[in-house]
Amino acid sequence: MDDCARPSDFDTDLMLRIQERGDGDVVVAIGPAPRGIALESADGVQAVCEFSVSGTLSPRTTRALRAVIAAMKADAAERPWPPAPVP
């Protein structure tokens, strides 16, 4: 399972989370930060969308979301959030 989250560049109270589950499905959630984002929409505060790797409707979207996971991890490595304080 691969999981990453990144706050919005303009509204750090919001966060994007993408998770690739063990079965290959990809779940996308947008919700409040920094408390984190559950990958269920039970509280109605966030949006959650799941793409199934076994389905035939969105194979390119699923592959693209995996690429977004890699990009978010690279951004986090190069530009961590929150940014380091300036001395």
Model pLDDT for residues 63-76, shown as the tens digit of each residue: 899 999 999 999 98
Inter-residue contact 1 to 18 (CB < 8 Å): no
Which residue(s) pair with 17 in the sheet? 5, 29
pLDDT of residue 57: 84
Q: For residue 27, what is the enclosing H or E element?
A: strand 26-32
Inter-residue contact 10 to 29 (CB < 8 Å): no
pLDDT of residue 70: 94
